[in-house]
């Protein structure tokens, strides 16, 4: 790949950007493996917005080209790397999320076992695990089923839930978005852990709601200890 400069406002060496992405991707991949957040087949992919341009870099967790990034513009034309048919198909949904959330940069999709089970059950993930309160009190919403990687159901969720940082695509699996490659991977790990604990609680008579004022108490604690 040749070096390509972006707009005058943000100049970036695209080759170095891709190399850094692939390094961070490898770290994120290992984190998801170690935490058993990936399925047995390790199906999934992760993308990052190229600053100042309508482009993403994206790579898959599995397959012969796993960890190898492709640079794709928002019109789905490959600008570098190897863009497989499968990766091009899912890239459309990553791009749709980034269009709806211009302030975020990274998107990850997996078939994480417990989150995917909630999606197959047709259930949103309720906030019952205190760790999730760091992102608010809203449940992780369920997007309606659509044809493989159809953008409409997920876009509809983003429009209806402006505070959502993830969605469960019905009968498919989770999509999570955030600021950085490592950050979005960690967010996915927290969600998979929450979905596992909440599932166990359901078997023990039901996952109980957090007490009134729990969110506010968590925010006060963060201010006290992390200021």
Q: Does 14-226 carry CATH code 3.10.450.50?
A: no
The kind and range of the H/E element at 15 are helix 14-34
Residue 87 has pLDDT above 80, yes or no: yes
| pLDDT score of 226 | 66
pLDDT tens digits for range 6-26: 334 456 799 999 999 999 999
CB 48 within 8 A of CB 105: yes
Length of the chain: 227
Q: How far apart are CA 108 and CA 113, in angstroms?
A: 15
Percent of the chain past pLDDT 90, that is, above it, reads 76
Mean pLDDT of 185-201: 98
Q: How far apart are CA 91 and CA 96, in angstroms?
A: 8
| pLDDT score of 227 | 62
> What is the residue-averaged pLDDT of the chain?
91
| pLDDT score of 11 | 60
Residue 116 has pLDDT above 90, yes or no: yes
Helix, strand or coil, per DSSP, at residue 168: strand
Q: How far apart are CA 218 and CA 15, in angstroms?
A: 41
Residue 125 bridge partners (DSSP): 140
User: Quick check: pTM over 0.85?
Assistant: yes
Mean pLDDT of 83-99: 93
> How would DSSP label each residue in 33-82?
HHTT-S-TT--EEEEEEPTTSSEEEEEESSSTTTT--EEEETT--EEES-
Question: pLDDT-derived band of residue 85, with 50, 70 and 90 as boundaries?
Answer: confident
């Amino acid at each position: 790949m040749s070096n390509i400069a972006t707009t005058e406002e943000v100049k970036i060496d695209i080759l170095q950007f891709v190399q850094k992405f692939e390094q961070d991707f490898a770290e994120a991949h290992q984190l998801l493996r170690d935490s058993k957040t990936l399925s047995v087949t390790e199906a999934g992919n992760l993308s990052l917005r190229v600053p100042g341009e309508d482009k993403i870099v994206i790579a898959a967790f599995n397959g012969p080209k796993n960890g190898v990034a492709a640079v794709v513009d928002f019109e789905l034309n490959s600008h570098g790397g190897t863009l497989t048919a499968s990766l091009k198909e899912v890239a459309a949904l990553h791009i749709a999320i980034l269009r709806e959330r211009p302030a975020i940069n990274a998107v990850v999709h997996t078939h994480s076992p417990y989150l995917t089970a909630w999606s197959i059950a047709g259930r949103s993930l309720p906030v019952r695990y205190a760790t999730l309160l760091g992102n608010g009190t809203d449940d992780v919403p369920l997007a309606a089923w659509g044809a493989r990687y159809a953008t409409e159901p997920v876009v509809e969720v983003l429009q209806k839930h402006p505070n959502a940082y993830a969605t469960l695509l019905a009968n498919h699996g989770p999509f999570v978005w955030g600021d950085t490659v490592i950050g979005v991977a960690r967010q996915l790990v927290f969600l998979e852990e929450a979905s596992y604990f909440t599932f166990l609680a359901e078997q023990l008579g039901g996952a109980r709601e957090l007490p009134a004022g729990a969110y506010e108490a968590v925010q006060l604690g963060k201010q006290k200890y992390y200021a």
